[in-house]
Structure 1
């Protein structure tokens, strides 16, 4: 007889971006030690997703299991201490005793994906082993514009568990990347999540991006404003609002200012700065 999955609800909350709900509902009694570590890693990653890096750095000490130490490195990396995080992750990945730890490999993949070093990320994630690693592979391949490889990863996930939340999300990401008639399929996946789960910024952004692809910018804007009400500093929401407002012929300067303040290294901020520099140079050459 199959044992109940005590962390099912917690995992789903985390995957769908309901980070506070994941934290609030993390008191699961009678967990075996291995599952307790997974529970703690999901809770700390939820705090990271909410921007509480220092809490994670302070709470995880050197006696914590490898998985939690890896999560602490992600908090260090995102808080700005990139050099320490990357040198530590390199050192740990070279240690044969812990190099196969799935959460260590996952965090390595996330950090190297942030660094846009996709080949290095895949060295640690490509062999899979968990649904999260497979889902991260899909994201990495899409960043590399290799939807063919992303599709192969999705098929592996579908063979393991077609109804898994991460399989459904990966399917929606791939559909968005492929475009065309697949956009409607992606929209229906996010719509299904919004009917069954707590409405989160992740789901609202997913639906909004589908709407923008389909030219439904008014609908996209209302979804994004709802997401902004949930988290006024969310990078994806702000970036999507900037793009949406440009298509609606509205000013997006306020959202760009917010994005610059809260996420100065965001790709859209860098692109805007580069465009401004080029414009200034062009003006000076004509003046």
Structure 2
């Protein structure tokens, strides 16, 4: 699959994201998992708990895939590579109709200014369980080429699915990452985790319970309906109760602390500036 820069721009329009833009759906009591076919389908656990880890990280840094690099990027190149990484991922998922949304530290960086933290070197997204089955069946190990501004011959990205995604148990602690979107030019990647129905909690009466293999637990109404916004200047989906989820994971101070990792948040420029 090949995308040129112009096709990527046309797909998204690349509208300015300098001002926070979040669609506000009406409040509803609808059970989204029950009315949306691509979310509601049940899957049974398959196979025993694996004893080996599928994805491995490089010996020089745990956020790089050592098959594609033997050293980390210079510091000033990390953020541009990550920006292209998330833009190409979101573009590809949109073009093939695969629903995805940002989460964890990536969602926190979105909350501040819709940009990647300048000290970050990883990205996290989530998908529904039916989506991971869809990607595994039709797009596992596919290569996607993008012509990018200032990049000779563009870059190639690979979507790789962990075959252990069919094991739904949290006991599979070696394979909590269900898939990765990998930049073959640098080894940087996006961790992709599937959100599943939490059968154990549902059996105890928590009818909205969701879980990931990385031991994160949610309610349907915290994730769905997904909101529309922008991240790194392209359209993105975010979970419905984003503030609540961020406070639960990082604490309320993470949404107010303007000094972090040697950077200060400038209210005028809306940028994290390195503290001298």
Q: Same fold (TM over 0.5)?
A: no
Q: What TM-score results when the alignment is normalised by the length of structure 1?
A: 0.25
Higher strand share: 2
Whose Rg is larger?
1
Q: What TM-score results when the alignment is normalised by the length of structure 2?
A: 0.25
Q: Using CA pairs below 8 Å that are at least 6 residues apart, which structure has the higher relative contact order?
A: 2
